[in-house]
Amino acid sequence: MMHTARPKVLVTRQLPESALAPLRAAAELDIWQQPRQIGRAQLLARAADVDGLLCMLTEQIDAELLQRCAGLRVVSTMSVGIDHIDQAAASRRGIAIGHTPGVLVETTADLTFALLLAAARRVVEADRYIRNQCWRDDNRWYPEMLLGRDLHGATLGIIGLGAIGQAVARRAAAFNMRVMGWSRSGREVAGVEAASLNGLLAESDFISVNLALAEETRMLLDRAAFERIKPGAVLVNTARGGIVDELAMCQALRGGRLFAAGIDVFGREPLEPDSELLALPNVVLTPHIGSATRHAREQMASMAVANLVAGLQGRELPHCANPGVYG
Ligand code: GLV
């Protein structure tokens, strides 16, 4: 009896069985099940003979890996961001890249607002104040205690007006904020005043970074940009750390140019233990949890599986980041 070989797939994290079912039906799965993320050597070894790869944003899918995996036809990442994948190298090899836009938009916008509010109203600092037993009889309540900034009536500048930036703008409208926005493509969004990047930096009381990391956006907020920021602004980044010069940001937080920051993404993840950010009281830090709700993650997993199955079956990926591979 003739057997047609089933495609081979490496999945770099355990996913919910419900999401995996269509992939189990379509391919032979090798699932990395350890709690530690897969190391580079293991990744190279286990991906060497696969047809498809379902990866996370923690894996570098670079030219070396793509070259070693001669049979690879489709890379599906469980993330919307694809800055960990060498898109040019994948496209040259005709490898389709799947990603997960849409399903994490509202969830990430919610975290953006959580950080805006927490940084502006010093929520984490106030929590530490109580835990460190600074709240005593002699300072129970006083007019200057833990003063923050109002969101209502303030101007929010959104850098990047894609789906997440627009979801942030909708929330800001409900908070009675004036909303300005800048995008690389000059996109017009109802309710958002289009601004130049410099104009936005100069006028915004709050700044939210909501654009993808690409060569053109790397270090977009550099030292010179921080000098243009309105003194006393609050900065929130739920996009990618590489868009912001972290040292310049620390200096701005120390010197008072920034009142506070809420940061979910970093130039290097995990954050290094000697990062100056850890010593600054006016920063709220979260470990890259923009899409971290069960519902969003289940949808991301299902979407990543659907992309991969389509690619293995020779169909166009429902959410393809490099559609040029289809000619
Ligand atoms: C998370 O950062 C993502 O790109 O999905």
Query: How confident is residue 241, by pLDDT bands cut at 50, 70 and 90?
Result: very high
Q: Across-strand partners of 76?
A: 54, 98
Are 61 and 85 a contacting pair, CB within 8 Å? yes
Overall average pLDDT of the 39-56 stretch: 98
CA torsion 129→131→137→140, rounded to 10°? 40
Residue 99: partners with Cβ closer than 8 Å, 6 or more residues away: 76, 77, 79, 80, 81, 82, 304, 307, 319, 321
Plot region of 19 (φ>0 → left; ψ -120 to 50 → alpha; else → beta): alpha
Q: What is the pLDDT of residue 3?
A: 57
Three-state DSSP at 98 gives strand
**Catalytic annotation present for 269:** yes
pLDDT digits over 68-119, tens only? 999 999 999 999 999 999 999 999 999 999 999 999 999 999 999 999 999 9
The torsion angles phi and psi of 258, rounded to 5 degrees, stand at -100, 130
Are 30 and 43 a contacting pair, CB within 8 Å? no
Overall average pLDDT of the 197-221 stretch: 98
**Distance from the CA of 2 to the center of ligand 1, in angstroms?**
42
Are 53 and 61 a contacting pair, CB within 8 Å? yes
Q: Where are the domains of the chain?
A: 8-103+294-326, 105-285
Mean pLDDT score across all residues of the chain? 97
Which one of 73, 99, 171, 240 is the catalytic residue?
240
Half-sphere exposure of 226 (CA within 13 A, CB side): 22
What's domain 8-103+294-326's superfamily in CATH? NAD(P)-binding Rossmann-like Domain (3.40.50.720)
Secondary element (H or E) of residue 303: helix 294-312
pLDDT digits over 122-170, tens only? 999 999 999 999 999 999 999 999 999 999 999 999 999 999 999 999 9
Shared fold status for 8-103+294-326 and 105-285:
yes
Overall average pLDDT of the 212-228 stretch: 98
Three-state DSSP at 327 gives coil
Q: Which residues of 104-127 are buried (b: 16+ CB within 10 A; e: fewer)?
A: bbbbbbbbbbbbbbbbbbbbbbbe
Nearest residue by C-alpha to atom 5 in ligand 1:
79
Q: What is the pLDDT of residue 70?
A: 96
Choose which residue among 77, 82, 108 to substitute to test ligand 1 binding: the one with the highest number of ligand atoms within 8 A of its C-beta. 108
Overall average pLDDT of the 20-40 stretch: 97
Q: What is the pLDDT of residue 159?
A: 98
Spatial CA neighbour of 178 closest among 195, 160, 198: 195
**Distance from the CA of 135 to the center of ligand 1, in angstroms?**
38
Q: Is the peptide bond before 287 cis (omega within 30 degrees of 0)?
A: no
List pocket residues of ligand 1, CB cut-off 6 Å. Answer: 57, 79-81, 104, 290-291
pTM: 0.97
Q: What is the pLDDT of residue 37?
A: 96
**Catalytic annotation present for 93:** no
Q: What is the pLDDT of residue 5?
A: 86
Q: What is the pLDDT of residue 327?
A: 84
- Its CATH class, for the domain covering 105-285, is alpha beta
Quick one: what percent of the chain has pLDDT higher than 70? 99
The structure tokens listed for 48 are 């060497």
Three-state DSSP at 228 gives helix
pLDDT digits over 257-289, tens only? 999 999 999 999 999 999 999 999 999 999 999
Q: What is the pLDDT of residue 148?
A: 98
Q: What is the pLDDT of residue 275?
A: 97
Quick one: what percent of the chain has pLDDT higher than 90? 98
**Catalytic annotation present for 240:** yes
Nearest residue by C-alpha to atom 3 in ligand 1:
79
| Integer-rounded Cα radius of gyration of the chain | 22
